[in-house]
Amino acid sequence: MKQIALLGSTGSIGRQTIDVVEQHPEKYEIIALTANNNYNLLIKQAKKLNPLYVIIANDEHYLKVKDALSDLPIKVLSGYSAVNEIVKLDEINFVIVALVGYSGLLPTLEAITAKKQVALANKEALVVAGELITEKAHQNNIKLLPIDSEHSAIFQCLQGEVHSEIEKIYLTASGGPFRGWTHEQLKTVTLKQALKHPNWSMGGKITIDSATMMNKGLEMIEAKWLFDLSTSQIDVIVHQQSIIHSIVQFVDGSMKAQMGLPDMRHPIQYSLSYPNRVYSPFHRFSFLDYPQLNFEYPDYEVFKNLQLAVYALKKGGNVPCVLNAANEVAVKYFLHQKIDFLTIPDIVEKTMEKVDFKEHLTIEDYVETDRLARQIAENFA
């Protein structure tokens, strides 16, 4: 029985994780649920699942959650420190990090240090501090299980290939809602347009990242750490149907691709059932529904965030941390309609230029870099 702490239960990945868990109650039990602000949904989830612990990170909502669950044997906690502490509990042996952005870093490190199995749907933790996280995972003999569809695809393709040398991986990208657009066309992008992804149903932040292609840039950095790859071994290819989730090319020229419908419940379930596969009732792919699969290279000039992410990947050190912090600030302002679409990469680039480079970092260095980068980005917004 996997006893799960689900960090970020009210987000898109969190809700779909609950769908998967409910299909196999004999295998999985949710012990703890956490959310940031969506206390109404958190309350509904808690009443349905009856976990031992519920955490609302935003202290302002604590009493609402506590009162709503007062008739149930559920311990209600609040604050971000409680999220970091919950993963250490003996009752929990599996932690799913489905938090958005930088907030996933410290709970991931705490879970690894506590020797819990970790499934990551939070790419930013590895983007910000990939060297530190992978080092801690190695020290504690913890295998990081990826939930992002692209990294799950690579992970699945590598099963049984222990002695096979990787030549290159291809992370596939749908191209988002603005695939094929020119720089001139992007000047008029509205929030409504940017939030309309052609293939995936995701939260606001990741949907905007997909529209700017920053999401794919972050995934390149994540892949470096997950699979111990050099920059030259990581490539991106646009595949608008989102059926092939990623590809591994080996040194003999052979390639493996993992395919399936664009449904995040598949990689979520694989992370939970690994190293086995269990039955799922979810829809099956049919070749007849997709008689043609298309591929093209992304436009690095038009989608500048992708270009900036590649630079951060090559440079290393604290640069990916700066990239991520500045992007989170810029996306926040765009979601609140305070800046236009093309200002997002401008803020990221200007912030990256302002923060001094540092190569080897402690956790305190990462925290300070993130704070400084956000402060600078706020000034540009």
What fold characterizes domain 2-146? Rossmann fold (3.40.50)
What is the pLDDT at residue 43?
A: 98
Number of H helices, E strands in the chain: 16, 11
pLDDT in tens, 58-87: 999 999 999 999 999 999 999 999 999 999
- pLDDT beyond 80 at 202: no
Rounded mean pLDDT of 318-324? 98
The residue-averaged pLDDT of 141-150 equals: 96
In the predicted model, is pLDDT for residue 348 greater than 90?
yes
Backbone angles phi, psi at 55, to 5 degrees: -125, 130
- Write down the pLDDT at residue 157: 98
Interval 283-297 mean pLDDT: 94
Which among 95, 140, 143, 141 has a CA at the least distance from the CA of 122?
95
> Taking all residues of the chain, what is their mean pLDDT, rounded to a whole number?
96
pLDDT above 90: residue 297: yes
Closest among 351, 328, 257, 244 to 290, alpha carbons compared:
244
pLDDT recorded at residue 53: 98
**What pLDDT does residue 199 have?**
77
pLDDT at 150 > cutoff 90:
yes
pLDDT of 200 over the 80 cut: no
Q: What is the DSSP string of 149-203?
A: HHHHHHHHHTTT-TTPPEEEEEEEE--GGGTT--HHHHTT--HHHHT--SS----
Residue type, 337: Q
Single-letter residue type at 315: K
Please state the domain extents for the chain.
2-146, 161-262+296-315
Q: How far apart are CA 109 and CA 158, in angstroms?
A: 25
pLDDT of amino acid 263: 94
Question: Mean per-residue pLDDT for 128-150?
Answer: 96
Cβ proximity of 94 and 3 under 8 Å: yes
- pLDDT single digits (tens) 89-121: 999 999 999 998 899 999 999 999 999 999 999
* CA–CA dist 334, 326 (Å, integer): 12
Cis? peptide before 275, omega within 30° of 0: yes
pLDDT > 70 fraction of the chain, expressed in percent and rounded: 100
The CA-atom distances, in angstroms, between 214 and each of 152, 207, 256, 336, 345 are 19, 10, 25, 18, 9
CA 154 – CA 227 distance, rounded (Å): 9
Q: Which whole number is the average pLDDT over 198-209?
A: 84
pLDDT of residue 203 exceeding 90: no
* pLDDT score at 197: 82
Per-residue pLDDT, averaged over 31-57, amounts to 98
Question: pTM to 2 decimals?
Answer: 0.94
- Judge whether residue 233 has pLDDT over 80: yes
**Given a cut of 90, is residue 201 above it in pLDDT?**
no
